[in-house]
Structure 1
Amino acid sequence: MKFVIKDHLEMIPDILSVIDKMTKDEDKLMRFDTVSTVGYLCTVFHQHDNLRSYIHSFLLPAIIKALSDPAEQVVMRSQMVLTYIISKGVINNKTVEEIVCPALILAANSTDDLHVQNNIVTLVGKIVLKVCNNVLCKTVLPFLINKSHSDCIYVRLAALLSFPELGHALNIEHKTKVLLPRYVEMCNDRVGTIRKTCADIIAPLSACCNDALRRESITDAAGRLLSDSCKFVRQTALENLGPLITTYATPAVTSLVTTRTYILMMVSNFTDDLHYITMKCQTSQEYFKATELLMDREKPWSNETTMKNDNKFWVADYNVKTESEELYSTFAYWREPICDTKSSFSFENDCDDKESEVERLQSMIPNKLWYVPMNNNSNLNCTDMKKSEFEVKPIVEGNGDSKPSTAELNDNYLVVPALLLDNYADMAGAFDDSDLASQCACMLPAVLVTIGPAHWPLLRHTYYVLASHRSWKVRRKAASYIHKLAIYIGEEATSRDLLPIFESLVLDLDEVRSGAIDNFAAFLRMLSPSVRSDLAPMLCRFLKTDYEWNWRFRQNFCEQLAESLHLFTPLDMYHHIHEVCLSLLMDRISSVRQSALSLVPELLVVLNKNLGLKRLMVNELVTQFGRADSWSRRQMFAQICSYILNYGDRCLSAVDFSNELLPCLLNLGSDRVPNVRLMVAKTLYSQIVNNPIFMDLQNPQHHVLTETLTRLRRDEDRDVRYFADSNRGGFGISAN
Structure 2
Amino acid sequence: SPGLSLYFEDGHDDLDDFGFDDYGSECDGIRITAFLDAGQDNLTPLGRLEKYAFSENVFNRQIVARGLLDVLREFSDNENDFISVMETVARMSEDGEPTVRAELMEQVPNIAMFLHENRPNFPEAFSRYLVPIVVRYLTDPNNQVRKTSQAALLVLLEQGLMSKADMEGRVCPVLLELTEPSSDDDYKIEAVAIMCKLVTMLTKDTVEHLLLLRFCELCSDVRLFQVRKVCAANFGEFCSIVGQEATEKLLMPKFFDLCSDSLWGIRKACAECFMVVSNCTSPEVRRTKLSPLFINLISDQSRWVRQAAFQSLGRFISTFANPSITGLNFYLTGPPSHHPEGNSSTQPKEDGISLGQPKHSAPLSRQQMDDCTVFNSFNFWRSPLPDITQDLQLLQEEERDEVIEKQDETMRDTEGEGKEDVPSLDAQGPATSSQIQKVLDCLQPHLDDPDVQGDLQKERILLLPFSTYGHSSSFSCFPNSHSLLSQNVIPQQLLDQYLSMTDPARAQTVDTEIAKHCAFSLPGVALTLGRQNWHCLKDTYETLATDVQWKVRRTLAFSIHELAVILGDQLTAADLVPIFNCFLKDLDEVRIGVLKHLYDFLKLLHADKRREYLYQLQEFMVTDNSRNWRFRYELAEQLILIIELYSHNDVYDYLRQIALNLCSDKVSEVRWISYKLVVEILQKLYACEAHDLGLNFINELIMRFCHCSKWVGRQAFAFICQAIVEEDCMPMDQFALHLLPSLLSLSSDPVPNVRVLVAKALRQSVLEKRSAYSDELEEALSELRMDKDRDVQFFSTMDPNRNVMDTSALI
Which amino acid in 2 is paired with 1:227?
A: S
- Give the deviation of 1:97 after TM superposition: 9.8
Please name the residue that 2:277 is paired with.
205
CA distance 1:642–1:296, change in 2 (3 Å): farther
Letter of the structure 1 residue corresponding to residue 453 of structure 2 = S
Alignment of 1:16-27 (within 5 A): none
1:95 paired with 2:188, answer no
Can you list the C-alpha shifts for 1:106-144, whole angstroms capped at 9, x where unaligned? x42x36x65565455556656778698799689963774
- Residues 530-539 or 46-55, more deviating: 46-55
Query: Where in structure 2 are the equivalents of 1:397-408 lying within 5 Å?
Result: none
Question: Residues 154 and 286 of structure 1: is their aligned pair in 2 closer, same or farther, counting only changes over 3 Å?
Answer: same
Counterparts of residues 222-371 of structure 1 (less than 5 Å):
222-251=294-323, 269-270=329-330, 278=332, 281=335, 344-348=451-455
2:551: which partner in 1?
A: 473
1:418 alignment partner, one of 488, 492, 497: 492
Q: 1:506 to 1:145 in 2, by over 3 A?
A: same
Distance 1:727 1:209 in 2: 64
- Tell me if 1:380 matches 2:466: yes
Residues 636 and 670 of structure 2 are in contact (CA less than 8 Å); yes or no, is this contact kept in structure 1? yes
- AA partner of residue 153 (structure 1): F
Amino acid at match of 2:298: L
Which deviates more from structure 2 when the two are superposed, residues 218-227 or residues 289-298?
289-298
d(CA) in 1 for partners of 2:213, 2:704: 78
Please state whether the residue corresponding to 1:150 is helix, strand or coil.
Answer: coil
Task: Look up the equivalent residue of 1:201 and give its one-letter code.
Answer: C
Determine if the alignment matches structure 1 residue 563 to structure 2 residue 637: no
**1:587 Cα deviation after fit:** 1.7
> SS of the residue aligned with 1:504?
helix
CA distance in 2, matches of 1:600, 1:653: 17
Aligned counterpart in structure 2 of residue 604 of structure 1, from 682, 702, 706: 682
2:522 counterpart residue number: 444
Q: TM-score, normalised by structure 1?
A: 0.66
Q: Is 2:613 aligned against 1:549?
A: no
Task: Tell me, yes or no, if the aligned pair for 1:121 and 1:155 is still in contact at 8 Å.
Answer: yes
> 8 Å contact 2:640–2:677 — kept in the other structure?
yes
Q: Does 1:574 align with 2:652?
A: yes
Aligned to 2:486: 393
Counterpart AA for 1:520: L
1:51 and 1:691 mapped to 2: Cα distance? 60
Residue by residue over 1:11-52, the C-alpha shift from the partner in whole angstroms, topping out at 9 and shown as x without a partner, is: 999x79x97xx9xxxxxxx79899989989999999885997
Distance 1:51 1:629 in 2: 69
Which of the residues 72, 78, 84 maps onto 1:7? 84
- Check conservation: 1:5, 1:12, Cα contact below 8 A: no
* Structure-2 change in CA distance of 1:215 and 1:76 (3 Å): farther
Q: CA deviation at 1:76?
A: 10
Summarize the Cα distance change of 1:484–1:55 in structure 2 as closer, same or farther, 3 Å threshold. Answer: closer
Deviation at 1:53, TM superposition (A): 8.2
Q: 2-side partners of 1:155 and 1:208: how far apart?
A: 23
1:190-233 Cα offsets, whole Å, 9 max, x none, are 33233222212322221221212111221111010011122111
2:287 maps to 1:194: no
Say whether the 8 Å CA contact 1:202–1:244 is kept in structure 2.
yes
Question: Which deviates more, 528-537 or 80-89?
Answer: 80-89
Change (3 A) 1:164 1:673: closer
Shift of 1:597: 1.2
Does the alignment pair 1:525 with 2:603?
yes
Matches within 5 A, 1:630-641: 630-641=710-721
One-letter code aligned to 2:496 = D
Q: Is the 8 A contact 2:232 2:270 kept in 1?
A: yes
> Using a 3 Å threshold, how does the CA distance of structure 1 residues 534 and 168 change in structure 2: closer, same or farther?
closer
Alpha-carbon offset, residue 89 of structure 1:
5.1
Counterpart-to-counterpart distance in 2, 1:200 and 1:177 = 22
Comparing 598-607 with 660-669, greater Cα deviation is found at 660-669
Give the CA deviation at 1:183: 2.5
CA offset at residue 630 of structure 1? 4.7
Q: Tell me, in whole angstroms, the C-alpha distance in 2 between the residues paired with 1:390 and 1:247.
A: 20
8 Å CA contact 1:167, 1:175 repeated in 2: yes
8 Å contact 1:525–1:567 — kept in the other structure?
yes
Residue 673 to residue 383, structure 1, CA distance change in 2 (3 Å):
same
The one-letter amino acid of 2:551's match is K
Distance 1:710 1:78 in 2: 68
Residue 537 of structure 2 aligns to a residue whose secondary structure is helix
**Structure 1 contact 521–560 (Cα < 8 Å) conserved:** yes
Distance in 2 of aligned mates of 1:570 and 1:667: 30
Judge conservation of contact 2:595–2:634 (CA < 8 Å) in 1.
yes
Distance 1:629 1:152, change over 3 A: closer
* 2: CA distance, partners of 1:206 / 1:147: 18
Partner residue of 2:580? Answer: 502
* Superposition deviation, residue 435 in structure 1: 3.2
1-structure distance, mates of 2:125, 2:751 = 79
Alignment of 1:557-706 (within 5 A): 557-608=635-686, 609=688, 610-648=690-728, 651-666=729-744, 679-687=757-765, 691-695=769-773, 705=776
Pairwise CA distance, 1:710: 8.7
In 2, Cα distance between the equivalents of 1:287 and 1:92? 40
Q: Which runs of 5+ in 2 are unaligned?
A: 1-52, 54-67, 73-80, 116-121, 339-344, 364-439, 471-477, 802-811
Q: Which of 740, 759, 780 pairs up with 1:709?
A: 780
Q: 2:292 — aligned with what?
A: 220
Q: Could you tell me how far apart the structure 1 residues matched to 2:108 and 2:760 are? A: 66
- The one-letter code of the counterpart of 1:221 is L
SS at match of 2:454: coil
Shift in Å at residue 346 of structure 1? 3.3
Per-residue CA deviations over 1:656-695 (Å, capped at 9, x if unaligned) read 4444444544555666766656654543443268643332
Q: CA deviation at 1:427?
A: 2.7
| Runs (5+) with no aligned partner, structure 1 | 23-29, 68-72, 256-267, 271-276, 304-332, 356-376, 395-412, 697-701, 731-736
Deviation at 1:422, TM superposition (A): 2.5
Seen in structure 2, the aligned counterparts of structure 1 residues 6 and 576 have a Cα distance that, compared at 3 Å, is: closer
Residues in 2 aligned to 1:11 and 1:572: alpha-carbon distance in whole angstroms = 77
- Cα drift, residue 146 of structure 1: 7.1
Asked if the contact 2:337–2:346 (Cα under 8 Å) also holds between the matched residues in 1, the reply is: no
- Among candidates 166, 170, 184, match of residue 256 of structure 2: 184
Distance in 2, matches of 1:55 and 1:639, equals 58
* Conservation of the 8 A alpha-carbon contact between 1:280 and 1:290: no
User: Residues 348 and 354 of structure 1 are in contact (CA less than 8 Å); yes or no, is this contact kept in structure 2?
Assistant: no
1:310 corresponds to: none
The whole-number CA distance in structure 1 between the counterparts of 2:777 and 2:356 is 50
* Per-residue deviation, 1:483: 1.9
Pair 509,283 (structure 1): closer, same or farther in 2 beyond 3 Å: farther
In 2, the alpha carbon distance for the partners of 1:343 and 1:505 equals 25
Deviation string for 1:376-403 (max 9, x for gaps)? Answer: x866326499978776526xxxxxxxxx
**Residue 25 (structure 1) aligns with:** none
In structure 1, what is the equivalent of residue 418 of structure 2?
none
Letter in 2 for 1:565: I
Match status 1:461 vs 2:539: yes
* Kept in 1: contact 2:633–2:669 (CA 8 A): yes
CA–CA distance in structure 2, aligned partners of residues 595 and 253 of structure 1: 40
Counterparts of 1:539 and 1:465 in 2: how far apart (Å)? 26
Which residue type is aligned with residue 264 of structure 2?
G
